[in-house]
């Protein structure tokens, strides 16, 4: 069982997954915030490798990626920081990035470096499951979970492929669009989750637009995990001690645990 799969093996437990852009607002902030997220109740942390053309991301994460790139953050530095963080936290760390940086680094070299840095999985929004066989084979050899995404517009064939090939969990995009905090959970989300559930045995985690404990509670009723990103980035901009961020994560954890009876 992979380290990511073990998160979902706890009976009734719903996962809380956080996203941070590596190097935003600073490298020091990343090294401080990831342990804080783990201590506050997160089960998995996604480490975003900044990229110049983040097509799936909204304004908040685009801005953070641009700032991180200006700070000189590279895939190599992200790997170095992941190595440091993996010594500080026991929860799985997952890289979220785009295919171009991985391809440019070299698939074999990147996956080997990920494994050596304590990374448990990889999420690549612009890599569809019908084009991921090379990276799948390499990542599996290194003990990494390659996690695919599905959107409400995904066809039955795309859902079937992701169900066959995604490892760790399947990332369900709650809306047709980009990342970013939103006021409400889409009305048709439950139907989308149900449609994927019929084809997939993997845990289903929902992201894009979740920013409050109330929304997290709604998601936890229908999915196996809740993913929060943009709201975390926004709070990281406001305080050096990240007190509001810790309060948010504890609130998210509490609302999710109420649903699962923990």
Q: Give the catalytic positions in this structure.
A: 46, 57
Q: Are 117 and 83 in contact (CB under 8 A)?
A: yes
Nearest Cα residue to 180 out of 219, 220, 205, 210: 210
* Residue/partner pairs of 83-86 with CB below 8 Å, 24 or more apart: 83/116, 83/117, 83/118, 84/31, 85/30, 85/31, 85/34, 85/35, 85/47, 85/118, 86/117, 86/118, 86/119
Give the number of other Cβ atoms within 10 Å of residue 72's Cβ: 9
Distance CA 150, CA 123 (A): 12
**Nearest CA to 207 among 188, 224, 191, 195?**
224
Distance from C-alpha of 61 to C-alpha of 151, rounded to nearest angstrom = 19
Neighbours of 70 (CB within 10 A): 11
Pairing between β-strand 145-147 and β-strand 119-123 as defined by DSSP bridges: parallel
User: Which residue in this structure is represented by tokens 């852009």?
Assistant: 21
Of 67, 62, 54, the C-alpha closest to 23 is 67
According to DSSP, residue 130 is labeled G
């Amino acid at each position: 069982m992979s380290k990511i799969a073990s998160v979902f093996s706890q009976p009734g437990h719903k996962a809380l997954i956080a996203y941070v852009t590596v190097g935003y607002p600073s490298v020091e902030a990343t090294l401080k915030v990831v342990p804080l997220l783990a201590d506050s109740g997160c089960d998995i942390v996604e480490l975003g490798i900044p990229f110049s053309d983040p097509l799936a991301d909204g304004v908040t994460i685009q801005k953070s990626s641009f700032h991180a790139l200006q700070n000189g953050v590279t895939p190599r530095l992200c790997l170095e920081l992941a190595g440091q963080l993996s010594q500080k936290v026991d929860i799985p760390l997952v890289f979220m990035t785009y295919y171009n940086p991985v391809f440019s680094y070299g698939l074999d070299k990147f996956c080997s470096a990920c494994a050596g840095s304590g990374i448990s999985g990889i999420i690549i929004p612009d890599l569809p499951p019908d084009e991921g066989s090379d990276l799948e084979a390499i990542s599996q050899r290194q003990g990494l979970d390659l996690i695919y995404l599905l959107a409400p517009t995904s066809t039955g064939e795309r859902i079937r492929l992701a169900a066959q090939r995604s490892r760790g969990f399947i990332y369900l995009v709650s809306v047709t669009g980009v990342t970013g905090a939103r006021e409400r959970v889409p009305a048709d989300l439950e139907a989308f989750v149900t449609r994927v559930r019929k084809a997939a045995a993997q845990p289903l985690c929902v992201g894009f637009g979740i920013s409050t404990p109330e929304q997290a509670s709604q998601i936890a009723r229908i999915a196996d995990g809740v993913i929060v990103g943009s709201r975390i980035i926004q709070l990281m901009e406001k305080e050096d001690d990240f007190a509001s961020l810790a309060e948010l994560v504890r609130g998210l954890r509490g609302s999710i645990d109420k649903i699962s009876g923990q």
